[in-house]
Amino acid sequence: MKRKAYLFIVLAAFAVDFLASLVVKNMIVLLSTSLAIRLFLLLLTIVFFHDVYATSFRRAFPKGQPIKWLGQVYRLAGYILLAGAVQFLAHQVNGFLPALPTPEVILPKWQVVIFQIVPLLIAPFIEEFAFRFVLINPDSSHVGRQILWSSLFFALMHTGYLSVGEVLFAFIMGLILGWIYSRTRNILDSIALHFFANFFSIAI
């Protein structure tokens, strides 16, 4: 019940964010609204799933057992390379796909950090719990179907970018993230991959 309530709140919040992007003309107000929504969802995620974070950390770093640092480094490096490759491909292909024009806004550097970079960095925590942890059960015999549906919802959530390329690659990234979560059974893995994907989307 808690998972369904959380998913409903997340989807409703992103729907409000999307409607605001269509209605609000003042970009500072729009960016402030988007930031406030994501900060609220981050707080909600921590309140709802603080026990899951603890369990995930214990699973990644078992108490009383030596940490296999080399394996952790290899896995992290793999996520970085995968995220970079996907975002590079998305950047190359996106130029050939249609997108609605959006106003160019020049902001001071501190506002760029607050309004654009911060939401991108906190989004992985919110979106991985909403679209992977809630919608995918690694033990289910229908896990493939669940990954497909979660990726579709994840892609639809990115329609606010008004770009076919963004939606397409959100769907592809959703499939990859869902597969990673179903294989590792640890939400921290998909959060890490999602974080690096967002990082490269900023860098590229």
Quick: pLDDT tens for 13-63: 888 887 887 787 777 777 788 888 888 888 888 888 888 767 776 766 666
CA distance 33 to 166: 21
| Sequence spans of domains, the chain | 2-203
Residue 126 is predicted with a pLDDT of: 87
Question: Does residue 157 carry a pLDDT above 90?
Answer: no
Residue 39 is predicted with a pLDDT of: 86
- Between the ranges 49-53, 151-155, 174-178, 200-204, where is the mean pLDDT highest? 174-178
Residue 130 is predicted with a pLDDT of: 86
Q: The dihedral of CA 97, 120, 143, 79: what is its sign?
A: positive
Provide the residue type at 117 as one letter.
I
Question: Does residue 101 carry a pLDDT above 70?
Answer: no
Nearest to 133 by CA among 79, 189, 195: 189
Contact by Cβ (8 Å): 120, 201:
yes
Span 159-188, pLDDT tens digits: 766 667 778 888 999 999 999 999 988 888
Mean pLDDT throughout 119-128? Answer: 84
Contact by Cβ (8 Å): 113, 131:
no
Residue 175 is predicted with a pLDDT of: 94
Locate tokens 């709802």: which residue? 48
CA distance 163 to 84: 20
Span 135-147, pLDDT tens digits: 898 888 899 999 9
Top pLDDT among 113 and 42 is at 42
Look up residue 158 and give its DSSP letter: G
Question: Does residue 70 carry a pLDDT above 70?
Answer: no
- Predicted TM-score of the model (pTM): 0.80
Residue 129: strand, helix, or coil = helix
Residue 200 is predicted with a pLDDT of: 85
Contact by Cβ (8 Å): 156, 131:
no
Question: Does residue 102 carry a pLDDT above 60?
Answer: no
Angle at 165 between CA 164 and CA 166, to 5 degrees: 95
CA distance 12 to 15: 5
Query: CA separation (Å) from 49 to 7, 25, 43, 52?
Result: 12, 35, 10, 5
Top pLDDT among 150 and 122 is at 150
Residue 152 is predicted with a pLDDT of: 92
